[in-house]
Amino acid sequence: MASLEDLRAQIDEVDARLIDTIAERLRLVREAAALKAEHKSAAYSKERESYLLHSRAEMAEKAGLPAGLIDDLLLRLLRESYKGKGPAAYACLKPANRPIVIVGGAGAMGRLFSDYFKASGYHVEILEKDGWEQAPQLLGQALAVFVSVPISAAAAVIADTASFIAPDTVLCDFTSVKGPYVKQMLEVHPGPVLGLHPMFGPDIKSLVKQVIVSCGGRGEEQYRFILEQFKLWGAKICTCAPDEHDEAMSIIQALRHFTTYCYGIFLAQLRPPLQQILDLSSPIYRLELEMVGRLFAQDPHLYADIIMSSPRNAELIEAYFASLKPQIDLILQQDKEQFIERFMQARDYFGPYAQKFLQDSGALLAKIQDDWE
Amino acid sequence: MASLEDLRAQIDEVDARLIDTIAERLRLVREAAALKAEHKSAAYSKERESYLLHSRAEMAEKAGLPAGLIDDLLLRLLRESYKGKGPAAYACLKPANRPIVIVGGAGAMGRLFSDYFKASGYHVEILEKDGWEQAPQLLGQALAVFVSVPISAAAAVIADTASFIAPDTVLCDFTSVKGPYVKQMLEVHPGPVLGLHPMFGPDIKSLVKQVIVSCGGRGEEQYRFILEQFKLWGAKICTCAPDEHDEAMSIIQALRHFTTYCYGIFLAQLRPPLQQILDLSSPIYRLELEMVGRLFAQDPHLYADIIMSSPRNAELIEAYFASLKPQIDLILQQDKEQFIERFMQARDYFGPYAQKFLQDSGALLAKIQDDWE
């Protein structure tokens, strides 16, 4: 039997080979991406990804690798190749000599989309409050305009913007509430209207697999190229009626952020020593705490805007608060039986998702533990 | 320039080489593990892991790989080798012909530790309510006894157990509340006492990097081998006074689970369509929802026990509830200024952790997105 030193020297050698092989793979993928961009095919193909995962899993099984290992490694490699796309890598689906104008384009979200449009060969113009004297000229020739401003300014900016654009310009907004703003855009602009809600922060590394909600207003034929362009960048388009969107967002964003906010405020009043809490936390509890703490590293105005963006949110939050009292009473009365009965009702509501969530988050925890000490 | 088919054929070839190289690496690591077990050295070495990550990152940089890629791939490979440890892979730090007895050892947590002790060459006996007639004989010769039963039964089982064990037997419990049970164990047993709280569920794949809280009661010299054995299995031992532990757990477990429970109960009353919510959710929101839903796939008794385990928890939950009203009022009054002021106070409390949590969870989200469509 070899000594530990011998074995470690062999592992060093194998790792060097591993690294060279990975470098070679990335090189080939880059070549393929350049070729795909030339042929205007999409950055991300679900079919190709499924094929790769499936065929490699078969190869790995034959080689005696444990189940799931090659999938994880391959997905990590694929992420690298999505992320690595350079500015020349996307096709332009609507070549035109009219610009894409992003109103509020100097903000983080505006900049993200500006970069993507530029990387696809569009002529992009940024319009800010500061340079508003250029509005008539820039907006007048725009192919499409994206209003990307804080929600508190959205109504005024949409009205101003609409007054300068041509009847065939596609008017879009990125506001996180869709009902009132899609309605307003339809009122102030006779041409194509598209409400959009990018469901991510501007700090993402790539649009691949990110959700953009699309609430079409008018002129599907004229605005379609925008959604197709988003898909080409790898985003997932979710089409939805404006009111349906708003109802779901009250839950997904407003209520969830509000409860996280409240939890953080309470901890800040209690002031338990954070490092001790972390030391005592296994991965699942650490993740719970991270999800709370991360909110407070971000822009408070953004969260105030999201939570207070509609009367519907306030109603939902009030209803949530009212629902708590019976649960508090359970704990004070140590009523385990009722606790379990309500638990089972909620399990019933979550249905097969509860088990799926447990499995998915279990896999996730195994993964993040690699990183944490 | 090669055609896309050519490139894909080359990628196929590279992937085959990649898989063979990985298989070879796993083989070498298995050999090294067998060798380490022979020499009774630990399953997991932080130093070796740091060295590997550091040296491979250097090699990868020279080969032109993007930053962070080899770290992620290597950590995933290391996880495989921790997980893959077979039953013969651990050294026994306290060879003895007296058994380790796990009271409640047929439960999931008891079974987990039983497997690990067996894998380290200990003689393990399981004692359950059903076979309690064996208690005098099994407990009488025990080297160490672990009480692993639901908290509602803990006091009675500890008392019964103590009545049969020898004065030099190490008495341990796995109860999630430590103050009262460490105190009880010290009262009913004159010998070595060790309170333990494994901070994970029994569904984990490996003990590597998992936290076990240790609240020593008496006889450090006699119980030390148990903690050393846990470390050898890769666990992280966090030493803590029983009351300190309980105070932290009220926050880490009871309050957090309670708020998650309440959120799930409210959703179950509201009944929004889950699939639509998921479709509209980007990774961060999906993760938030998973963290809620996963609770309801688990044992309701366990959560009732954790939340109702001490009067301290009820007090904390009441205080939390009382703290919510001012926040609800903010929303109803649309008081953004106050919202932001309190936000900044909480940011202040989280200090540098807020930014760290944002970064860590950002990296995590990038990672889990690989898996989600």
A234-273 tens-digit pLDDT: 888 999 999 999 999 999 999 999 999 999 999 999 999 9
Residues 51-90 of A with CB under 8 A from B: 55-56, 59-60, 63-66, 69-70, 72-80, 83-84
List of chain B residues whose C-beta atoms are within 8 Å of the C-beta of residue A333: none
Q: Is A280 within 8 Å of B199 when comparing Cβ atoms? A: yes
Closest residue, chain A, to B278 (C-alpha): A252
By Cβ distance, the residue of A261, A331, A362 closest to B314 is A331
Residues of chain B in contact with residue A33, where contact means CB-CB under 8 angstroms, are none
Element (H or E) spanning A172, and its range? strand A170-173
Instruction: Output the CA–CA distances (angstroms, integers) from residue B114 to A93, B31, B79, B146, B206, in the order listed.
Output: 62, 25, 22, 10, 13
| pTM of model > 0.90 | no
Alpha-carbon distance B312 to nearest alpha carbon in chain A (angstroms)? 11
A257: distance to nearest CA of chain B, Å?
10
pLDDT over threshold 90, residue A119: no
Q: Flag whether pLDDT at A14 surpasses 60.
A: yes
Please name the member of B21, B39, B282 whose beta carbon is closest to the beta carbon of A17.
B21
Confidence of residue B84 (pLDDT cuts 50, 70, 90): low
User: Which is it for the CA torsion A314, B285, A47, A355, positive or negative?
Assistant: negative
**Mean pLDDT, rounded, for B45-65:** 88
Find the closest chain B residue to A373 by CA distance.
B209
Q: What is the mean pLDDT of residues A323-352?
A: 96
Q: For residue A120, is pLDDT > 50?
A: yes
- Give the rounded percent of residues in chain B with a pLDDT score beyond 90: 67
Residue A87 has pLDDT above 50, yes or no: no
Size of interface A-B (CB pairs under 8 A): 444
Residue range A274-295: mean pLDDT, rounded: 90
Cβ contact B31–A361 (<8 Å): no
Distance from the B113 Cα atom to the nearest Cα atom in chain A, whole angstroms: 17
By C-alpha distance, the chain B residue nearest A78 is: B370
Distance from CA of A44 to the nearest CA of B (A): 11
Q: Please state, in angstroms and as integers, the Cα–Cα distance from residue B242 to each residue in A351, B136, B176, B197, B248, following that order.
A: 39, 29, 11, 10, 10
Return the C-alpha torsion angle A108, A111, A116, A121, nearest 10. 180
Q: Mutate which of B56, B62, B251, B307 to test chain A, going by most A C-beta atoms within 10 A? A: B251
For the record, the structure tokens of A61 come out as 């099984």
Interface check for B220 against chain A (CB to CB < 8 A): the answer is no
Min distance A167 CA to chain B CA atoms (Å)? 31
Whether A156 shows a pLDDT value over 60: the answer reads yes
Q: Are B278 and B289 in contact (CB under 8 A)?
A: yes
ipTM of the complex: 0.80
Distance from CA of B134 to the nearest CA of A (A): 32
* Residue-level pLDDT at A284: 81
Residue A373 has a pLDDT of: 42
- pLDDT higher than 70, residue A95: yes
Residue of B nearest to A30 (CA): B7
Yes or no: say if A233 and A83 are a contact pair by the CB < 8 Å rule. no
Whether the per-residue pLDDT at B40 is higher than 70: the answer is no
| Strand residue runs (E) in B176-274 | 193-198, 211-218, 236-239
Q: Look at residue B229 and tell me whether its pLDDT is greater than 50.
A: yes
Closest partner residue to B238 (CB to CB) among A70, A279, A300 is A279
Question: Among residues of chain A, what percentage have pLDDT more than 70?
Answer: 94
At A289, list the tokens.
Answer: 């705490």
Is A272's CB within 8 Å of B24's CB? no
Contacts of B174 (CB under 8 A, 6+ apart): B109, B146, B147, B148, B196, B197, B198
Banded pLDDT at A68 (limits 50, 70, 90): confident
Question: How many CB atoms sit inside 10 A of residue B86's CB?
Answer: 11
- pLDDT of res. A300: 95
The tokens of B142 are what?
């025990």
The band of B170, judged by pLDDT with boundaries at 50, 70 and 90, is very high
- Contact assessment for residue B166 and residue B140, using Cβ atoms and an 8 Å cutoff: yes
Half-sphere exposure of A269 (CA within 13 A, CB side): 16
Q: Say whether pLDDT at A151 is over 70.
A: yes
- Average pLDDT value for chain A: 90
- A276 lies within 8 A of chain B by CB: yes
Task: Say whether pLDDT at B46 is over 80.
Answer: no
Q: Is B17 exposed, middle or buried (0-12, 13-18, 19+ CB in 10 A)?
A: middle
Q: In A, which residues are within 8 Å of B368 by CB distance?
A: 364, 367
For B:14-33, CB contacts with A below 8 A are 14-26, 28-29, 31-32
Per cent of chain A over pLDDT 90 is 67
Is it the case that residue A86 has pLDDT exceeding 50? no
Q: How far is B104 from chain A (nearest CA, A)?
A: 22
Residue of A nearest to B319 (CA): A266
pLDDT one-digit tens code per residue, A184-210: 999 999 999 999 999 987 777 778 878
Q: Give the model's pLDDT for residue B87.
A: 42
B9 in A contact zone (CB under 8 Å): no
pLDDT of residue A114: 94
> If we measure between CA atoms, which residue out of B113, B367, B271, B111 comes closest to residue A77?
B367
Looking at chain B, which residue has its C-alpha nearest residue A209?
A: B373
Q: Which two tokens stand for residue A31?
A: 């070549």
B324 contacts in chain A (CB < 8 Å) = 262, 321, 324
The answer to whether residue A5 neighbours chain B at the CB level (below 8 Å) is no
Q: Do A339 and B263 touch (CB under 8 A)?
A: no
Residues of chain B contacting residue A61, judged by C-beta atoms under 8 Å apart: none
- Among residues 342-371 of chain A, which lie with CB inside 8 Å of chain B? 342-351, 353-355, 357-358, 360-364, 366-371
Residue A295 in this model has a pLDDT that exceeds 80: yes
User: Does residue B290 belong to the interface with chain A, where contact is any CB pair within 8 Å?
Assistant: yes
Spatial distance between the Cα atoms of B266 and A327, rounded to a whole number of angstroms = 10
Residue B372 confidence class, pLDDT cut points 50, 70, 90: very low
Average pLDDT value for residue range B98-116: 92
A 181-200: CB under 8 A from B: 199-200
- Name the token pair of B257: 């689970």
Interface test with B, best of A6, A13, A14 (most B CBs within 10 A): A14
d(CA A124, CA A107): 14
Q: Is the pLDDT of residue B47 over 60?
A: yes
- Asked if B203 lies within 8 A of A362 by C-beta distance, the reply is yes
CB B172 within 8 A of CB B196: yes
Enumerate the residues of chain A whose CB falls inside 8 A of the CB of residue B263.
259
How confident is the model at residue B368, as a pLDDT? Answer: 65
Give the tens place of pLDDT for each residue, A314-333.
999 999 999 999 999 999 99
Look at residue A1 and tell me whether its pLDDT is greater than 60: no
